[in-house]
Amino acid sequence: MTTLAAGGTSRKAKVRVGPLVERILGLAVLALGIVWVAANLIDDPSRFAASGLTGLKNGALYALIALGYTMVYGIIELINFAHGDLFMLATIVSANVMVNIFGVNNLGVATLLPLLITLAVAMAFGAFINVSAEFLAYRRLRSAPKLAPLMTAVGLSFVFRGIAQQDYINGSAPKNWPIVWGGPQYGGVYIYQLLLVFGVTVPLLLIMTWIVGYTKRGKAMRAVAQDQDGARLMGINVNGTISFTFALGGALAGAAGLLFFLVQSQTFYDTGTQLGLIAFTAAVLGGIGNLVGAVVGGLMIGIIQAINEGGSFGLGQAWSQTVIFIILIIFMVFKPEGIFGRRTTEKV
């Protein structure tokens, strides 16, 4: 029994059994996870390394999408469920620009200029659609109960999916595009794919971090996130700041859309639902509202998913989403604020 002594008196410290049991269970779950990863590494290092590369590639894409979720939530506490389907629309725009307009099939140094132009188009498209959604729908619901903008986001998600399902846009079936990759491979992973994903993702993440942390606009974003009325009294354009945040999130979704299309060579109206949910899980896992947390959460989920699908002791692709959401549930039970989030008592 722990005792405390002060001023010549002593008293028994209360031991809170509940939190102690939760901590022990949490550490036990963490230890099981570490043992699982270590067992996969020891049994077949080459297979583990290939799964790790796949996980890093997918995790970087999840991180780009998750940043859009977390930035918007950080400013106006809205879970923008339409964000994943905006990413899906960006994959279709990217495919049409790359293949139908520029005629790119084989990726190489000669296609660098079309690639950069398509990236700019995809990011501009994502930013425009997101800002338009904020202006036309979310802005008018800021003072409404939180369920109203939440359901509006769900409605927009179905609108985006319906647009993509039109035959002259993409259709209801998955559409495969003639994108051919070359160059060295490791464990079935194209090294140039990995370099492209990180060559786009890392600079964008650094730019986002710089904007939010070191620019005047970033300071305005943080001020609006803390207190919109106070920020307005200080002369900050709250509407402009929120629109700017939506533009950044949409631009990241556009970049992720291009990268996903180039890696998978496929567009499908349901892509945004699946990847959007995984990216949202990554944002929650890392601590929604936290930029670093979104990146760490995305990479963690990407690696865990890849090891589960390709590792020696994985459950296989059919169980990937089950594994991911079990991890989310466990985290919500033991650490509801996420890895880097702050504990609050406010209801979402």
Is residue 330 a part of any domain in this protein? no
d(CA 272, CA 88): 5
Is residue 223 a part of any domain in this protein? yes
* Domain encompassing residue 142: 61-269
Give the model's pLDDT for residue 330.
82
Mean pLDDT, all residues of the chain: 85
Is residue 219 a part of any domain in this protein? yes
pLDDT tens string 105-145? 888 777 889 999 999 999 999 999 999 999 998 888 888 88
Give the model's pLDDT for residue 6.
43
Q: Which amino acid, 68? A: G
H or E element at residue 202: helix 191-214
d(CA 257, CA 126): 9
Is residue 250 a part of any domain in this protein? yes
Is residue 305 a part of any domain in this protein? no
- Exposed/middle/buried for 219, CB within 10 Å: 0-12, 13-18, 19+? middle
Give the model's pLDDT for residue 9.
46
User: Running DSSP on this structure, what letter comes out for residue 83?
Assistant: H
Give the model's pLDDT for residue 286.
85
Query: Number of folded domains in the chain?
Result: 1
Residue with tokens 């509006």: 152
Is residue 47 a part of any domain in this protein? no
Give the model's pLDDT for residue 320.
84
Could you tell me whether strands 189-190 and 185-186 are parallel, antiparallel, or unpaired per DSSP bridges? Answer: antiparallel
Give the model's pLDDT for residue 101.
92
List the pLDDT tens digit at each of the 348 positions of the chain: 443 444 444 555 555 656 777 778 777 877 888 888 888 888 888 888 988 888 998 898 898 888 888 888 888 888 888 999 999 999 999 999 999 999 888 887 778 899 999 999 999 999 999 999 999 988 888 888 888 888 999 999 999 999 999 999 998 999 999 888 877 888 778 888 888 899 998 898 889 889 988 999 889 988 988 888 888 998 899 999 999 999 999 999 999 999 999 988 999 999 988 888 888 888 888 887 788 888 888 898 999 899 888 888 888 888 888 888 888 788 778 778 788 766 655 443
Cβ atoms < 10 Å from Cβ of 272: 29
The tokens for 326 are 């079990």
Provide the CB-side half-sphere exposure for 90 (13 A, CA).
36
Give the model's pLDDT for residue 348.
38
Partners of 5 in beta bridges = 10
Is residue 281 a part of any domain in this protein? no
Give the model's pLDDT for residue 131.
94
The pTM of this model reads 0.84
Is residue 51 a part of any domain in this protein? no
Can you give the length of the chain in residues?
348
